Amino acid sequence: VSDVNKFFEQKHPWSKYKDLILGYYLKPYLAKVATLSRPIVVVDCFAGAGRFDDGELGSPLLIAEQLKPLYGRGVSVHAIFIEAQKDIAERLKKNTEFCGVPHTVYEGDFRVYVEAITRLASTHTVFLYVDPILPGDLHFADLQSVYGQLKRGQSIETLVNFLSTGFVRRAQGILGRMSRLDPLHSEVLACDQIAGGTYWQPYVADLGLAQKDRIDLIATGYAKRLEQWFDWVLTYPIREQYEDEQPKYHLIHGTRHPDAVDLMNRAMVKARREFVGARFVEGQLFNNQPAEEVVDPIKLQAIVLTTARLLGRTQWFLLRVHTTLSDPCMYTDSEINAGIKQLILSGKLGSSASGRKVEDDAWVWPTR
Binding site for ligand SAM (CB under 6 A): 4, 7, 15, 46, 48, 58-59, 82-85, 88, 109-110, 131-133, 137
Closer to ligand SAM by Cβ: residue 92 or 319:
92
Q: Which is nearer to ligand SAM, 17 or 316 (CB)?
A: 17
Q: How far is the CB of 119 from ligand SAM (least distance, A)?
A: 19
Least Å from the CB of residue 264 to ligand SAM: 17
* Closer of 85 and 193 to ligand SAM (Cβ): 85
Taking the least distance from each CB to ligand SAM, the nearer of 29 and 249 is: 249
Smallest gap from residue 113 Cβ to ligand SAM (A): 9
Phi then psi for residue 236, to 5 deg, are -145, 130
Which residue lies nearer to ligand SAM by CB, 40 or 63? 63
CB atoms near residue 182 (< 10 Å): 12
Measured distance CA(124)–CA(193) in Å, rounded: 29
Closest contact distance (angstroms) between CB of 367 and ligand SAM is 48
The residue among 54, 124, 58 whose CA lies nearest residue 88 is 58
| In the complex, least distance from residue 108 CB atom to ligand SAM, rounded to whole angstroms | 7
The DSSP code sequence of 85-130 is SHHHHHHHHHHHTTSSS-EEEEES-GGGGHHHHHHHTTTSEEEEEE
SS3 label, residue 258: helix
Point out the residue whose Cβ comes nearest to ligand SAM.
58
Judged by beta carbon, residue 137 or residue 335, the one nearer ligand SAM is: 137
- Other beta carbons less than 10 A from residue 211's beta carbon: 13
Q: C-beta of 91: minimal distance to ligand SAM in Å?
A: 9
How far apart, in whole angstroms, are the C-alpha atoms of residue 227 and residue 243?
Answer: 31
Bridge partners of residue 105, in order along the sequence: 81
